[in-house]
Amino acid sequence: MTTTPNPLRDPRDKRLPRVAGPSVLVLFGVTGDLSRKKLLPAIYDLANRGLLPPGFSLVGFARREWENQDFRQLAYEAVKEHARTPFREDVWTHLAEGMHFVPGEFSDPGAFDALAMAVKELDTTRGTGGNYAFYLSIPPKFFPQVIEQLRRSGLAEHGPGSWRRVVIEKPFGHNLDSAKELNRTVHRVFPEESIFRIDHYLGKETVQNILAMRFANTMYEPIWNRSYVDHVQITMAEDIGIGGRAGYYDGIGAARDVIQNHLLQLLALTAMEEPTSFSADSVRAEKAKVLSSVRLPADLGRATARGQYAAGWQGGEKVRGYLEEEGIPLDSRTETYAAIKLEIESRRWAGVPFYLRTGKRLSRRVTEVAMVFQRAPHLPFSHTDTEELGQNALVMRVQPDEGITVRFGSKVPGTAMEIRDVNMDFAYGESFTEHSPEAYERLLLDVLIGDPPLFPRQEEVELSWEILDPIEEYWAEHGKPEQYKSGGYGPESADLLMARDGRAWRRL
Ligand code: BG6
């Protein structure tokens, strides 16, 4: 038999790729945004990279009177529009053969019985070996119901030598109590090793690179502490608004949507100690240690800021404000921007503030972690020569321009000793020929392989809610978020938060 060489694989790369074993992925919420924009394209990309087994099967479950063909059509359009890798007819045809659809309501036991029969049949026809992953890409209010249906229909039980896994999309609860409750619900049916809580930021190459950079090198570690670092800024700025997600977003807001998970995970990876190994337990334990040492400043009025986007201009287009978005109540107090100052009580970080900010409809999309260093204790140059000199910074650029920047002072060419900031850059695109996989490619593959280090465990989820809950309670009692102009830099109160500490946000 001749095999078509995979054009995506560099022939010099002799490492064995991690390939998933026989399995079925059952996707709940196939018609949703996440499924169309991220999950279905990522499954195709995995197939295209040769990382799925030959009999891999994908079962979509949703409340539509659909045949397999309709599901395949939806997936085809999603792949055509959003896949990262080039479209190959042979890969698609093979993948589509393994795609099936089961119609039904989450409340309908009959639909889950039909699902159980469908996956069983796939075991026979496609050799999927009784290995099923259930991906819950659905509104959180349905989690308990679907989990219970999986139990009742026997789908959660596996025979010897096979596995069942459940993937839970964020948000995992909306505060500490509900996160605990949800955990109890899932645990009634699935053991901990079968539960994969998704935080897609951990699937990003640049986020994993924070650990590579810190722990595979020697030169950063000596300065990675309170003796050298002045403060840390973690930014996740988006230029988009809430799009069609009013139903999900309103009442949740920026802090619950991304600080509780993505930004606190970035903080944990930046601040954690070196794990004893890269096993799931060691990495998660170190992250949990950092999260448990996070302290909120006493005065939350001064240490937090929040805003809501007003109408404005973005990319040459007029855009509407949050309160004018479809489905948002006119008196909504949901924040679309949040900034928080945190401290970490540890020998390494005592006295070093970590500033976190995120917002929608800002001037540009950028996610980064910036370590800003203390000023040199003494400058032997005349004051006027160093006027434009800022603080040294090491910036881990998560997206979109992936890489690392080191910012430092350098002599301006000329006869005087004038010193100005310059950047030294590492860019993924220039150093590596391979493009970074999408976060969901990595995470879906990890689920099918059963590799959990990139999935937060319950302890981290709960610790993150413990950090956020007092802030949410404070905000609930203290008025409305400040309006900020779309296409700008966020609310003034966020600038004030920094100014009070004699600092400023990095420019977006
Ligand atoms: C999601 C949030 O988790 O992350 C969205 O719910 C946000 O509100 C998205 O837009 C951003 O993801 P990325 O990968 O584009 O930074």
* pLDDT tens digits, one per residue of 270-286: 999 999 998 999 999 99
Dihedral sign (CA 499, 502, 505, 506): positive
- Asked if 343 contacts 221 with a C-beta cutoff of 8 angstroms, the reply is no
421: its two tokens: 């900031």
Atom of ligand 1 nearest to the CA of 367: 16
* Average pLDDT over all residues of the chain: 94
| Helical spans, DSSP H, in 382-423 | none
Binding-site residues for substrate: 200, 204, 238, 257, 360
Evaluate: CB of 238 within 6 angstroms of ligand 1. yes
Which contacts qualify for 6-12: CB closer than 8 Å, 24 or more apart?
A: 6/48, 6/49, 6/50, 7/86, 8/48, 8/49, 8/50, 8/85, 9/49, 9/50, 10/433, 10/434
Atom of ligand 1 nearest to the CA of 248: 6
pLDDT for 87 equals 97
- Asked if 205 contacts 236 with a C-beta cutoff of 8 angstroms, the reply is no
Question: b or e along 356-383 (b: 16 or more beta carbons within 10 Å of the residue's beta carbon)?
Answer: bbbbbbbbeebbbbbbbbeeeeeeeeee
Atom of ligand 1 nearest to the CA of 242: 8
pLDDT for 239 equals 96
pLDDT for 15 equals 52
Percentage with pLDDT > 70 across the chain: 97
Amino acid at 21: G
Dihedral sign (CA 463, 466, 469, 474): negative
- How far CA 272 is from CA of 295, 396, 402, in Å, comes to 15, 16, 22
Q: Tokens 């945004």 map to which residue?
A: 33
Nearest-angstrom CA–CA distance, 75 and 59: 11
Could you tell which of 257, 266, 309, 361 is best to mutate to test the pocket of ligand 1, judged by most ligand atoms within 8 Å of the CB? 257
> Considering only CA atoms, which residue is closest to atom 7 of ligand 1?
258
Evaluate: CB of 258 within 6 angstroms of ligand 1. yes
263: its two tokens: 């930004």
Nearest-angstrom CA–CA distance, 392 and 490: 25
pLDDT for 2 equals 41
Nearest-angstrom CA–CA distance, 129 and 22: 6
Nearest-angstrom CA–CA distance, 322 and 489: 16
pLDDT for 3 equals 44
What is the CB-side half-sphere exposure of residue 423 using CA atoms within 13 A?
Answer: 10
Task: Report mean pLDDT in 10-residue bins for the chain, 508 residues.
Answer: 50 67 96 95 97 96 95 98 97 97 97 97 96 95 96 95 96 95 96 96 95 96 97 98 92 97 98 94 96 97 98 92 97 98 98 98 97 94 86 97 96 92 94 90 97 94 98 96 97 98 96
Going from the N-terminus, what domains does the chain have, and what CATH number goes with each?
A: 24-169 (3.40.50.720), 202-499 (3.30.360.10)
CA of 258 to the centre of ligand 1 (A): 7
pLDDT for 393 equals 98
Cα 149–chain centre separation: 28
Dihedral sign (CA 215, 220, 225, 231): negative
pLDDT for 1 equals 39
